[in-house]
Chains A and B, each alone.
Chain A
Amino acid sequence: MLNERLVTDVLLAALSSGGDFAEIFAEDTFNTSIKMVDGAIEQGVSGRDYGLGIRIFLGFKSVYAYTNDTSRDNLMKVALEAAAALKGTTHIKSIVLARECFHKHHPIMLNPNYVKEKDKVDVMKQAHHAASNYHEQISQVIINYLDKDQKVFIANSEGLMIEDRRVRTRLAINSIATKGNEKQSGFNGPGAHMGFEFFDHIDVREYAEDASRSGVTMVNADYAPSGKYPVIIENEFGGVIFHEACGHGLEATAVAKGASVFAGKIGEKVASDLVTAVDDGTIPNAWGSQNIDDEGAKTQRNVLIENGILKGYMIDKLNARRMGMDPTGNGRRQSYKFAPTSRMTNTFICAGTSTREEIISNTEHALYAKKLGGGSVNPATGEFNFAVAEGYIVRNGKIEKPVRGATLIGRGSDVLQKIDMVGSNLATGQGMCGSLSGSIPADVGQPTIRVSELTVGGRKEAE
């Protein structure tokens, strides 16, 4: 993407005021998004993102500058402007770049850039038909198709020079069910670090029908009762509970400065014995996987919690300095417009031994959260919240009735201790995670779990 001579010159210019590390991240990305409403294509947008970011460290300080203009003159100017933020004397005077190659773990068979628009539309039509024909209460179906082909080039003053290409494909299905004046929506958004062949691996109809089933169930449901009671959380996207309640608190961004309830607790018991949790950026073709992170380090499998004991954090290069620990391949960013920081990749609670049926039949009274929506957390206090997109009341070991409009809140450290059953049916779901370095694709996951007590917010008084 850039020639070696230019890269070396820009890195040296960036270090001219005493910086002890400099990095270039260049990106050339093609994006496609197509929107279908009620079976008719309403919008198609194609775009190309192109730009470059320069990052400089001096001890714990960091400077970041980015631009779209990658001419030599401009890059040298930007590097010097960024360097001007630091005051010191140059001590790195030469850099020898060594191109690094690696085995690609995420093969792409069919780059969506070379797939005809019509074929993409056909996949959307399949989803539309399956979703809209599911039930007479489905009043509208919105399908979004997205693909992204991101080429990155990373070089730094330690001599690293590496390139990667990430292709991601996703289909988002939103089914709206109507009953009288009421509307509820059901959602599924399967995606992968894969090309267009992704659609040979999944059954689009199944996802579409399931979104409609969820919307129809909810439009016919009563409001969830408020109060504190046990909650069973289903697998797949249910894993967003770990992502919000604990994952963000295990990112070095929060830990390095002590702004996390999990800071300084390695080796301590932070969760129930049943909990083992992992962040794994190496899973072949998974949505949150990458060969290398956005600092050029190979992604890896990081055990975060093992049998309830805190084992590790997710660490980027800058926070690794502050923490005196090694980076873990978690330095990620949305694009060249963001400096990277520690972020999750594919994060999940590992499988236990109970079956879903055992968990439900052993529960006297609980909210069964079959599908969760998104959530958020304040890492400093550990207080999280997330929405239940599809819920049911479990009574005397049986699913009694669907309920809607529930929200779950709690504290991360608390909820981890209260997990008292873990299923064997580990599965993952795809999400976009928003934080300091932008919005990035991340898988969440877990088997079915039971939490002995959570605050459930609903519109009805407790039953």
Chain B
Amino acid sequence: MDFKEFKELVFSAGKEQGLSDMEIYATRSKAFRVKAYQEDVDDYSLSVVQGIGFRGRYGQKVGYAYVETLDEDSVSFLIAKAKANAQIIDSDDEIEFFAGATNYPKIEAFNEILAELPTAEKIKSALDLEKYALAADERVSMVNWAATGYSEGEVYIANTKGLEQSFRSNGAYGIVSAVVQEGEQVKTGTRYFFGTDWSKFDAKYLAEEAVQEGISLLNAGTVKSKDYRILLRYDVARELLGTFASVFSAENVQKGLSLLANKLNTDIASPIVTLVDDPLLVHGGASAPFDGEGVATKTKKVIDSGKLTTYLHNLKTAKKDGVESTGNASRPSFKSTVSISPTNFFIQPGKKDFNELVRELDTGLIIISVQGTHSGADSVSGDFSLGAYGYLVEDGEISKPVDQITIAGNFFELLQNVEIIGSDLEFDVPGSFGSMGSPSLIIKSLAVSGD
């Protein structure tokens, strides 16, 4: 049975059971992963899975249910459970089912060449990652991750108001993590590639970069606890952006869970900061023609030269605010209810490359990794205190590696304190809450704890 046939069955059974509006949000995905260890394939995984999320209106309220098989049992489970769940809802939020747009943007996110990439090629790439990492330096004691993977997915959404859309995408990745050792000192360095164009994957480059980073951290020490001028490398900057992206959600604003309430059209960031949500980005990891409610997506600036120009909306929050949905309804999985998330979300790059930023920093710390964003950051208050490592910079030159420190600050203050933006914008591997991007940023000051 395909999604379309299943949908017909569910909708007609639901109607008999007294459900009015109904919607199916279904996904199907195929994935492959191979891991190399000691010059051989160590771990090999393949999968084909599907899932069907259902929501239906009973009376005024909407209940959710999901299943993973397309059969008669699933039809009755979805109807019965969605109905039962609708009956416990107290919230008066008006949930709208979208009838469909007249036009959807055209997005090419499925690369046929990538889909045909032979398994042998992916295996060789994983083996290469390990081989080049081991060969890069004699201090490499082991390669604890050398893997490549491929996945493709289809999203199908249809409802009783007439909406019916689907979208396919695929992507591949390679990851290498090397352990380097000198005496008792152990450090790791990790690099990865993600994209739809495998010709851009360069195993030797990734492996050598990962090893180089590990080596550069050997003999790291801590620094004195005080405030430092900070250079956040692009990957750390985008990780922080992702950690606090929920503050731009209109849902959080309306619920009093975002300090950006009442801040529209005011300056919330340094005038050099422009933050963009671009679901139409060519080769973007989170690009899609429609959002989790079937609304057509569009590009918008969320912060324009320091000014907050919009929140991210779905249909429900837009209605409450009397605006149009920004096309940011999100279904992180078929199991999830409709929420809000950015798509390809990034800070617009400036002109200076990373080396120029190091010189501009003059004296301060470069942070190349933070740990604990899931626990040491509070998206409501914006406060963060995170484990970190990187390098000390003195007189515009890297003078030594630094570890066992924490950096602490507040996201809202950090936005105001961006002094220089680099040119090195790079996007992270897309997750269920969008794909984050940032160039490296110089921040006026953060509290650093060390000795």
A residues contacting B by CB (< 8 A) are 31, 34, 37, 39-51, 60-69, 78, 81-82, 85, 117-118, 121, 139-140, 176, 178, 181-185, 223-224, 226-228, 257-259, 261, 337, 339, 373-376, 378, 380-387, 404-407, 409-411, 455-462
If A34-B88, A385-B376 touch, whether A409 touches B387 (CB-CB below 8 Å) is yes
Interface core residue of A51, A182, A226, A339 (most chain B CB under 10 Å): A226
- Since A227-B225, A227-B449 are in contact, a sample of 16 more A-B pairs with Cβ atoms closer than 8 Å, ordered by chain A residue number, is A42-B91, A44-B64, A44-B88, A69-B69, A139-B256, A140-B256, A140-B257, A178-B256, A184-B378, A226-B406, A374-B374, A380-B179, A386-B372, A386-B376, A407-B386, A457-B376
Which chain B residue shows the least CB distance to A81?
B46
Pairs A–B under 8 Å by Cβ, sample size 16: A45-B336, A46-B82, A48-B67, A117-B88, A183-B259, A184-B378, A258-B142, A261-B186, A376-B375, A378-B188, A380-B144, A383-B403, A409-B387, A455-B449, A457-B387, A459-B408
Chain B nearest CB from A242 CB (Å) reads 16
Q: Are B385 and A176 in contact (CB under 8 A)?
A: no
Q: Which residues of B contact A461 (CB under 8 A)?
A: 225-227, 447
Q: Report the number of A-B residue pairs with Cβ-Cβ less than 8 Å.
A: 238
B89 interfacial contact with A, CB 8 Å: yes
- A51 near B68: Cβ-Cβ < 8 Å: yes
| Chain A: minimal CB distance from B292 (Å) | 14
- Knowing A46-B64, A457-B387, A462-B225 are in contact, say whether A380-B88 is a contact too (CB < 8 A): no
Set of chain B residues within 8 Å of A66, measured between Cβ atoms:
47, 49
With A and B bound together, what is the CA distance between A258 and B225 in angstroms?
A: 34
Q: Which of B260-298 contact A (CB under 8 A)?
A: none
CB pair B47–A185 under 8 Å, yes or no, is no
A13 and B187 alpha carbons, distance in the complex (Å): 43
Contacts of A68 in B (CB 8 A): 49-51, 68-69
* Bound complex: CA A23 to CA B65 (Å): 31
Q: Nearest Cβ distance between residue A63 and chain B, in whole angstroms? A: 5
Which residues of A sit under 8 angstroms from B172, Cβ to Cβ? none
Write the residues of chain B forming the contact surface with A, with a CB cutoff of 8 angstroms. 37, 40-51, 63-69, 74, 77, 81-82, 84-91, 93, 141-142, 144, 179, 186-188, 222, 225-227, 255-257, 259, 335-337, 371-372, 374-376, 378, 380-381, 383, 385-387, 403-410, 447-451
B54 to chain A minimum Cβ distance, whole angstroms, is: 10
In the complex, the answer to whether B64 meets A45 with C-beta atoms within 8 Å is yes
Known interface pairs A68-B50, A455-B449, A457-B405. Does A49 touch B45 (Cβ–Cβ under 8 Å)? Answer: no
Once bound together, how far apart are the Cα atoms of A68 and B44, in whole Å?
19
Give bound CA distance, A85 to B409, whole Å: 49
Is there contact, CB below 8 Å, between A41 and B44?
no
Nearest-CB residue, chain A, relative to B386: A407
The one of A46, A375, A382, A407 in contact with B85, judged by C-beta atoms closer than 8 angstroms, is A46
A117 and B144 in contact, given A45-B66, A458-B447, A459-B409 (Cβ under 8 angstroms): no
- Residues of the B chain whose Cβ atoms lie less than 8 Å from the Cβ of A411: 404
Beyond A50-B69, A63-B45, A82-B46, whether A41 also contacts B91 by CB under 8 A is yes
Q: Report whether A182 and B68 are in contact in the complex, using a CB–CB cutoff of 8 Å.
A: no
A459 to B225 Cα, complex, angstroms: 10
Choose among B41, B49, B255, B404 the residue that contacts A61 (Cβ–Cβ < 8 A): B41
Q: State which of B256, B381, B387 has its C-beta within 8 Å of the C-beta of A407.
A: B387
Contact indicator A337/B47 (Cβ below 8 Å): yes
